[in-house]
Amino acid sequence: MSKVLRPLLFLVVAAVFVLGACSSSGTGTSTEAVRTVAAAEAVGMLDSRTVIDVRSAEEYDAGHVAGAINIDVEASDFGAKISALDPADPYLVYCRSGRRSAIAADTMAEAGFTDIIDAGGLEPLADAGAPIE
């Protein structure tokens, strides 16, 4: 093997190793920790999980699932607030449409939370019988 090909081959093997290691550890945790469920199933879980409304305080004040705590996923202190929670406890997150709840669930999984239900939006939850206050 020539002196030029040997270092090139080494770089290719090293790159494959690094990329493979990054992809196998980066996504497995969040995929396993987060489960998205239909609103009717989520309503049946409300009493057995800490429920987190990840909308803004104004949206929360306009109406939320009874007993839900408000931690705005778009606020700068979202990470600090979730770090105060026990990552081993079961959680259920929701927002208005499901976009922010997905972001929150993935962020929580990346932070080490192991049991997160993404329940999507508030309106489907209310339509499925979730108590609103």
Q: Which of 84, 116, 121 is CA-nearest to residue 100?
A: 121
**Structure tokens given for 62:** 């306009």
Query: β-strand 50-53 against 91-95: which pairing, if any?
Result: parallel
Question: Could you list the active site residues?
Answer: 95
- The lowest-confidence range among 22-31, 50-59, 83-92, 115-124 is 22-31
Q: DSSP letters along 57-110, please? A: HHHHHT--BTT-EE--TTSTTHHHHHHTS-TTS-EEEEESSSHHHHHHHHHHHH
| Total-model pTM | 0.77
What domains does the chain contain, in order, with CATH numbers?
Answer: 31-127 (3.40.250.10)
The whole-number average pLDDT for the span 107-120 is 97
Instruction: State whether the Cα torsion 50-56-58-64 is positive or negative.
Output: negative
pLDDT for 68-110, tens place per residue? 999 999 999 999 999 999 999 999 999 999 999 999 999 999 9
End-to-end CA distance of the chain: 73
**The tokens 């803004």 sit on which residue?**
56
pLDDT of amino acid 26? 40
**The tokens 């020539």 sit on which residue?**
2
